[in-house]
Amino acid sequence: MDKISIPIGPHHPLLKEPLSMRIDIAGERVLGGTLRMGYVHRGIEKMTAQRTYVQDVHLIERICGICSHVHTTTFCLGVEKLLGIDVPPRAQYIRALMCELERVHSHLLWLGILSKHVGLETVFMHTWHDRELALDIMEGISGGRVSHAANQIGGVRFDLSPEQEVMVKENIGKLKAQVSGVLGVIENEPALRARTQGVAPVSADLIRDYCVVGPVARASGVDVDLRRDDPWPPYDQLDVNVITRPEGDAWARTLIRALETRESLRLCEVLLRQMPEGPVTVRAPRKVPEGEVVTRSEAPRGEVLYYLRSDGSDKPARLKVRTPTLAVLSLLPEQLSKIHVADIPVVLAGIDLCIACADR
Amino acid sequence: MNQIDTDALLEKIKAETGCQPEVYQDITDEDALCIPVENLEAVIGVLRKDFGCYHLSGITAQQRESQPGKIELIYHFWHGKGVSLLLRLPADDPKVASIIALLPGADFYEREAAEMYGITFTGREETPRLLLPDEWDQGPPFLKREASDG
Amino acid sequence: MFRGLFYLLIFPGLAFQVVCGLIFEWIDRKLLARFQRRIGPPWYQPVADLIKLFSKEDLVPLGSYDLVEVLLPLISLSAVLTAGLYIPIARFTPFSFEGDLIVIQFLMSVPTLAYYLAGIASVGIYSILGGGRSLLQYFSYEVPLLITISGPAVMAGSWSVAEISRSQLTMGPFIIFQPLGFILAVVGLIGKLKRDPLDIPSASSEVVGGSLTEFSGAKLGFWYLVMNVQAVVGIFLLVNLYMGWSNLTFPFAAILVFLVEFLLMVLILSTTSAVFARLRIDQLAGLGWRILVPLALTQLGFVILMGV
């Protein structure tokens, strides 16, 4: 059969953010593809060097529209390390609570997108309805649904009132019930299984070669989670269950993310239970002493890396951000061979693309 | 995960490659080695084979005010704890061997550094641009140049 | 003369079927929305959509066959409307003749073929992919569907839909004797209508809009109309083939029962599209030839044996 090349993107119903792929197909078989990004490259790494650290926190929040909080957390962790200040424990716990809520909302969003791609629009609507609960919690405590502006260098900008804690607990209880329903669908829905099981399986060796991180790596049996393996406070005081699956196919990735959502909700409850009293912020100087620091943390999509070099002024000399999507995307050309055209959405969804993150 | 013992790593690198890596101590709480450009592949080989450190988290390219005429590349590895490799390339002809044959995952990081800082990675196929537009003709956008260059 | 025109244009022809198509679309969308915890559109939404589409600019991509693109939805619409004329509406049938079931089957296939041609004629990559998929899908569902709906015909001893419907008055509704056949016919109908979960030719995440990617304005409006009228005609056909209720001879009850059956079919279609994920084309072909065809043959054999 003749080879034809179909363009996917920069605008395509499959993509929520601009990305361009050219996929070579013969009939319904995919032969391979090439990738092109940069449509939402905003030069944020460069822009941070022109702004003060205080301003940068807000700029960095805009790197990602889903996992905005974990980016600022990682950045603040780095700056605080250079400054040598200790963040009050209550602030650490609030940060972690937001991180986990963000993971819940990111994973639910993703589950919805996957179901939409396989034609299960009902599950898409239901998961996004549930995700709204997670957004409500975050809006209730921070005032922002997606950009929370929770972090500042030296702590967080708000405290949790007792009423808010009650609200968070209530909504988490509701979310738990909803997530078990979604889990039931993923485990039992035959058509969903037929569409995802055995699709584009990736071996653990390939994951290691391509330096893949996050749920995709864990779905191939690579047991790595920075919350446990390289914890930042307060995760060193928490007992994170890392979930892995040996299959490495699209279904394993789906299941992993659903199970991680449940685990995150459990962590939220633990965090609320153990939340210490005290201040939520300490004063941080404007100028950061000379030095370099590398911080890593576990975003919903995997390891995010920040490299920060300060030259002693109030502006960073170099900030490098490596987002998890970039690491996982490198696996895409490898996966886009020997699959069906109908599997392209499943493979793409399995990666959990966040193009704005990858482009910066 | 067992963390890497820096002294053992240094010894092993010396024995295997014959180069003299310097311990670089400016990075807070992290092991870093400043290695000669030509030994990059051999050092990564040692890291992978002898220490099981397979995870490259990213490649940072930067220019340092204290090192004029140099472009610096930092390879951020991770094995329970960060391990970084520092390379200094001459700014007028920044060239370094590509490591995608060893670590295919480095592909996008190398391409990003190549486009943003104009670094040439030798030994890999010419690829279309990843981030910059095809019609971009103003040189690497992140590279700081002398004022006379425009 | 006047009576003939009335049949053609008002009832059970053009006007009635278009209105039924729009009502079907609204109920379907509303039900789907309720399944998905949404509110759903108001009753006039399908009409509003149609008016809006008809008033939109018609964009034609360079190199496509404009005349063919205009003709295809019109031919499809006339084909499904003609098919609808031969199907009794609550026992009322002006044009019935022996063998009209086969004519209906043929006419109902016209939109699928037109859909394929539309993909080829509009020269887009997604259109060609979608068109090719629609033919593949056609070969997967059409054979089991044809075998299945010959079940009622064999049982009634006639190839006229009106006659099949009438014979159920004495024999009892065929859905009781051929439950498997009914399920297979519903699957076939979903495939014919390209509805979720068998919306493979128009799966938006894979081939954007399928054959209709390059269609816009009034032509797209006609295509949507074709889909809706086709759905209604298909539902009427299945209702007549499988759900003719006995002992209800006075006219009012027949209309009421017909209406209930129609709504029941819409409910079945909406539910299936809400709860099932889309199949892959190779999975559909496997399902069609490895499962549906043997099942349909079993059902037909059973019917023939029952007749003996």
pLDDT digits 0-9 by tens, A187-223 = 787 878 888 888 888 888 888 888 888 888 888 888 8
Q: Which residue of C has its CA nearest to A6?
A: C125
Share of chain C above pLDDT 70, in %: 97
Reading the block at residue A137, the tokens are 């919690």
Gyration radius (Cα) of chain A, Å: 20
- Is C52 within 8 Å of C291 (Cβ atoms)? no
Reading the block at residue C78, the tokens are 């006339």
Whether residue A315 is predicted with pLDDT greater than 50 in this model: the reply is yes
Angstrom distance (rounded) from CA C185 to CA C179: 10
For C40-99, what is each residue's pLDDT tens digit?
899 999 999 999 999 988 888 787 778 888 888 889 999 998 888 888 887 777 778 888
DSSP character for A1? -
Highest mean pLDDT out of B112-121, C38-47, C155-164: C38-47
Q: Return the SS3 of A34.
A: strand
∠ CA C30-C34-C35, rounded to 5°: 120
- Looking at residue C125, what is its pLDDT? 82
- Is A31 contained in some domain? no
Angstrom distance (rounded) from CA C24 to CA A28: 33
- Looking at residue A277, what is its pLDDT? 85
- Looking at residue C308, what is its pLDDT? 64
How distant is the alpha carbon of residue A256 from its chain centre? Answer: 14
Domain count, chain A: 1
* Cα–Cα distance list, C31 to C39, C48, C273 (Å): 9, 19, 10
- Is C65 contained in some domain? yes
- Is A302 contained in some domain? yes
Subunit contact C205:A117, Cβ cutoff 8 A: yes
Reading the block at residue C242, the tokens are 């499988």
| H/E stretch holding A111 | helix A89-117
Angstrom distance (rounded) from CA A147 to CA A9: 27
- Is A14 contained in some domain? no
| H/E stretch holding B121 | strand B120-122
Average pLDDT in the A129-152 region? Answer: 86
∠ CA C11-C17-C20, rounded to 5°: 115
Q: Return the SS3 of A335.
A: helix
Of the pLDDT bands very low, low, confident and very high (cuts 50, 70, 90), residue A83 is confident
Whether residue B32 is predicted with pLDDT greater than 60 in this model: the reply is yes
Enclosing domain of residue A198 = 41-321
- Is C48 contained in some domain? yes
In Å, how far is C125's CA from the nearest CA of chain A?
A: 7
Which residue ranges form the domains of chain B, and what is each CATH number?
6-128 (3.30.460.80)
* Cα–Cα distance list, C293 to C121, C175, C200, C283, C288 (Å): 32, 19, 20, 14, 6
In Å, how far is C187's CA from the nearest CA of chain A?
A: 15
Query: Which of C117, C115, C188, C108 lies closest to C149 in space, CA to CA?
Result: C188
In Å, how far is A189's CA from the nearest CA of chain C?
A: 8
Q: Beta A291-299 vs B27-28: how paired, if at all? A: parallel
Query: Which of A307, A308, A310 lies closest to A290 in space, CA to CA?
Result: A310
Of the pLDDT bands very low, low, confident and very high (cuts 50, 70, 90), residue B146 is low
Reading the block at residue C89, the tokens are 């509406």
- Is A36 contained in some domain? no
The answer to whether A35 faces chain B, any CB pair under 8 Å, is yes
| H/E stretch holding A102 | helix A89-117
Angstrom distance (rounded) from CA A120 to CA C278: 7
- Is B81 within 8 Å of B3 (Cβ atoms)? yes
Domain count, chain C: 1
Confidence (pTM) = 0.84
Chains C and B contact (Cβ–Cβ under 8 Å for 3 or more pairs): no
Q: Beta B31-34 vs B82-90: how paired, if at all? A: parallel
Q: Which residue of C has its CA nearest to A186?
A: C277
Contacts of C295 (CB under 8 A, 6+ apart): C144, C180, C184
Share of chain C above pLDDT 90, in %: 13
Contacts of C35 (CB under 8 A, 6+ apart): A122, C270, C271, C274, C275
Whether residue B148 is predicted with pLDDT greater than 70 in this model: the reply is no
Q: Which residue of B has its CA nearest to A320?
A: B60
Enclosing domain of residue C271 = 14-31+41-307
The answer to whether C120 faces chain A, any CB pair under 8 Å, is no
Q: What is the 3-state secondary structure (H, E, C) of chain C?
A: CHHHHHHHHCCCCHHHHHHHHHHHHHHHHHHHHHHCCCCCCCCCHHHHHHHHHHHCCCCCCCCCCHHHHHHHHHHHHHHHHHHHHCCCECCECCCCCCCHHHHHHHHHHHHHHHHHHHHHHCCCHHHHHHHHHHHHHHHHHHHHHHHHHHHHHHHHCCCCHHHHHHHHHHHCCHHHHCHHHHHHHHHHHHHHHCCCCCCHHHCHHHHCCHHHHHCCHHHHHHHHHHHHHHHHHHHHHHHHHHCCCCCCCCHHHHHHHHHHHHHHHHHHHHHHHHHCCCCCHHHHHHHHHHHHHHHHHHHHHHHHHHHC
In Å, how far is C89's CA from the nearest CA of chain A?
A: 33
- Is C77 contained in some domain? yes
Angstrom distance (rounded) from CA A250 to CA A343: 10
Residues of B with CB under 8 A from a CB of A: 1, 26-30, 54-58, 60, 62, 64-65, 74, 76, 78, 80-82, 84, 103-109, 112, 128-133, 141-142
Subunit contact C125:A4, Cβ cutoff 8 A: yes
CATH number of the domain to which A177 belongs: 1.10.645.10
Gyration radius (Cα) of chain C, Å: 19
Rounded to 5 degrees, φ, ψ at B18 are 75, 5
Q: If contacts are CB pairs under 8 Å, which of residues 247-276 in chain C contact chain A?
A: 274-276
- Is C86 within 8 Å of C103 (Cβ atoms)? yes
Subunit contact B28:A229, Cβ cutoff 8 A: no
| Residues β-bridged to residue A321 | A306
Of residues A6, A27, A345, nearest to C125 (C-beta): A6
Query: Which of C197, C238, C243, C227 lies closest to C118 in space, CA to CA?
Result: C227
- Is C9 contained in some domain? no
* Cα–Cα distance list, A177 to A126, A127, A131, A133, A173 (Å): 13, 12, 13, 12, 7
Angstrom distance (rounded) from CA A319 to CA A67: 18
Query: Which of C24, C4, C59 lies closest to C225 in space, CA to CA?
Result: C24
Kindly report the number of other CB atoms within 10 A of residue C5's CB atom.
Answer: 10
> ipTM, 2 decimals?
0.83
- Is A5 contained in some domain? no
Whether residue C249 is predicted with pLDDT greater than 70 in this model: the reply is no
- Looking at residue C45, what is its pLDDT? 92
Q: Which residue of A has its CA nearest to B108?
A: A330
Subunit contact A129:C37, Cβ cutoff 8 A: yes
Q: Beta A302-310 vs A316-322: how paired, if at all? A: antiparallel
- Is C168 contained in some domain? yes
Kindly report the number of other CB atoms within 10 A of residue C7's CB atom.
Answer: 18
Longest pairwise C-alpha distance within chain C: 61
Subunit contact C280:A340, Cβ cutoff 8 A: yes
**Amino acid type, B84:** S
In Å, how far is A18's CA from the nearest CA of chain B?
A: 12
Subunit contact A28:C281, Cβ cutoff 8 A: yes
Which residues of chain B are within 8 Å of residue A318 when distances are taken between CB atoms? 60, 62
In Å, how far is A250's CA from the nearest CA of chain B?
A: 20
Q: Which residue of A has its CA nearest to C38?
A: A125
Query: Which of A223, A219, A68, A85 lies closest to A146 in space, CA to CA?
Result: A68
Whether residue C12 is predicted with pLDDT greater than 50 in this model: the reply is yes
∠ CA C216-C222-C228, rounded to 5°: 120
- Is A105 within 8 Å of A135 (Cβ atoms)? yes
- Is B106 within 8 Å of B59 (Cβ atoms)? yes
Average pLDDT in the B42-47 region? Answer: 81
- Is A60 contained in some domain? yes
Angstrom distance (rounded) from CA A193 to CA A187: 8
DSSP character for A293? E
Of residues B82, B109, B132, nearest to A38 (C-beta): B132
Average pLDDT in the A116-122 region? Answer: 83
* Cα–Cα distance list, C180 to A312, C186, C290 (Å): 78, 10, 16
Average pLDDT in the C122-147 region? Answer: 86
Average pLDDT in the B12-36 region? Answer: 77
How distant is the alpha carbon of residue A242 from its chain centre? Answer: 15
Which residues of chain B are within 8 Å of residue A322 when distances are taken between CB atoms? 57-58, 76, 109
- Looking at residue B147, what is its pLDDT? 53
Query: Which of B144, C256, C278 lies closest to A194 in space, CA to CA?
Result: C278
